[in-house]
Amino acid sequence: MSESWIVGINPVEGALSNDAERVRELVAENGQRNPRVHELVERAKALKITVNHRPREQLDKLAGEARHQGVAALYEAPPMAHESDLAALMERDGGETLVLVLDGVTDPHNLGACLRSAAAAKVTAVIVPKDRAVGLTPVVRRASAGGADRVPLVAVTNLARTLRELKDAGVWITGLAGDTDTSIYGVDFKGPVALVLGGEGEGIRRLTRELCDFVAKIPMPGTMESLNVSVATGVVLFEALRQRSVKR
């Protein structure tokens, strides 16, 4: 377990609403008049969470470069899921298994945004390689808006091996890349599926791509050549959900 400070009204509210038992302390700025901050203080007290009031300078120090808006919460993060948990997660979801694989996303804001989309899409698990990912930092948690604690994040030692294990388990793998004629709208995302997106700039690695059953792109008729990885994640996840919602 590791503790970190969650700062800002919405992130703190999310922690109290979704994972209050892991909130160890709430700190509010002295003289804070924002009614939403007062509401969070009262909620924390009702939940028997320690509440302290501190000078703005102390909250500035806790928040670093982030905007704290007069409130912060000390949060005990749950442990990341282990790669040995993947089989049970896929067995739980069965034919509805939807796995997101992020091959080298190192920007914490991007990872957080991807986790937020994954949680909204009720993804089975998000898989990242241990040596090419940013991990669950406070910035990632803030950017995920609570998503980091609602979807299992699994850091694997060998991504290629994990992809082979997914294939052996009957999961069809689609990687996203711009240099293909296949559109994501032409790929069947029903059934057990894994979606693979690459990191900022480089995209998916060669070996990762070779292990994909399909490689597809998001059609972009405009002048931009690519989308931010978190935007692309949202697009392809919800295309998969759209297809799954259509009656067969």
Which residues does the annotation place in the binding site for S-adenosyl-L-methionine? 198, 218, 227
Annotated binding-site ranges = 198, 218, 227
Beta strand ranges found along the chain (DSSP E): 2-7, 23-29, 50-54, 71-77, 98-103, 125-129, 153-156, 172-176, 193-198, 214-216
Cβ-proximal residues to 151 (8 Å cutoff; 6+ apart), any chain: 115, 118, 119, 122, 123, 125, 126
- Strands 23-29 and 71-77, sheet pairing: antiparallel
> 80-99: b or e for each residue (b if 16 or more CB lie within 10 Å)?
ebebeebeebbeeeeeebbb
